[in-house]
Amino acid sequence: MERVEVIKRDITQMKVDAIVNAANSSLMGGGGVDGAIHRAGGPQILEECKKIVATQGECETGEAVITTAGKLPAKFVIHTVGPVWSNGKNQEDCLLADCYRNSLQLAIDHGCKTVAFPNISTGAYRFPKNLAAKIAVSTIKYCLQQHGEFEKIFFVCFDQENFDLMQKELIAASNPETSIP
């Protein structure tokens, strides 16, 4: 997993090919990372999101769409809709994994070599952070084994708890002999 790095930073400052936005289904911006990306990127991102919604309707949970990045230092923003946690009763784990897979597929389709992910669904959507970290790391690990196109994948954490959990999962994924209780 040498192509994966966990960092604590503002995702809107990442100079990568694509940053992933933990969007809501309307794609119209919101709170958390979604609002920060829309504010920092400027109105161009919202205008492109409006066109996507006018063409295909809202973005379903687990799906992803792509826009340019407006004023952000990235080239693209990949908007994915994470699941709202319902005690694991609505296949939230599979839907969260779909967010990572579908985002990476859009990145491949658009020639992206570097991608930065936030902690999808762990804020207002209340997905347990430890489980979200496991799903994120295992899904990215699998995708990297299938697709050699990527130079670097970043997990960009806003808070210390997510950073610590992601770091722990990444270490475990890098060393299969390490057992994490």
CA 28/CA 112 separation, integer angstroms: 24
What one-character DSSP code corresponds to residue 83? P
For 21-44, how does the pLDDT look when each residue is reduced to its tens digit (9 = 90+)?
999 999 999 889 999 999 999 999
Pairing mode of beta strands 64-68, 152-157: unpaired
Look at the domain 4-174 and name its fold.
Leucine Aminopeptidase, subunit E; domain 1 (3.40.220)
The H or E element containing residue 125 is none
Buried b (16+ CB within 10 A) or exposed e, 138-152: ebbbebbeeeeebee
Answer yes or no: 34 catalytic: yes
Asked whether the predicted pLDDT for residue 181 surpasses 80, the reply is: no
Asked whether the predicted pLDDT for residue 167 surpasses 70, the reply is: yes
Burial of 168 (0-12, 13-18, 19+ CB in 10 A): middle
For 123-147, how does the pLDDT look when each residue is reduced to its tens digit (9 = 90+)?
999 999 999 999 999 999 999 998 8
User: Which stretches does DSSP call E strand in the chain?
Assistant: 4-8, 18-23, 64-68, 76-81, 114-117, 152-157
- 137 in Cβ contact with 37 (< 8 Å): no
Tell which residue, 172, 105, 109, has the closest CA to residue 137: 172
Cα 10 → chain centroid = 13
**Which strands form 4-8's sheet, in the order they lie side by side?**
4-8, 152-157, 114-117, 18-23, 76-81, 64-68
Q: Which residue out of 34, 93, 109, 159 is catalytically annotated?
A: 34
For 48-104, how does the pLDDT look when each residue is reduced to its tens digit (9 = 90+)?
999 999 999 999 999 999 999 999 999 999 999 999 999 999 999 999 999 999 999
- 80 in Cβ contact with 116 (< 8 Å): no
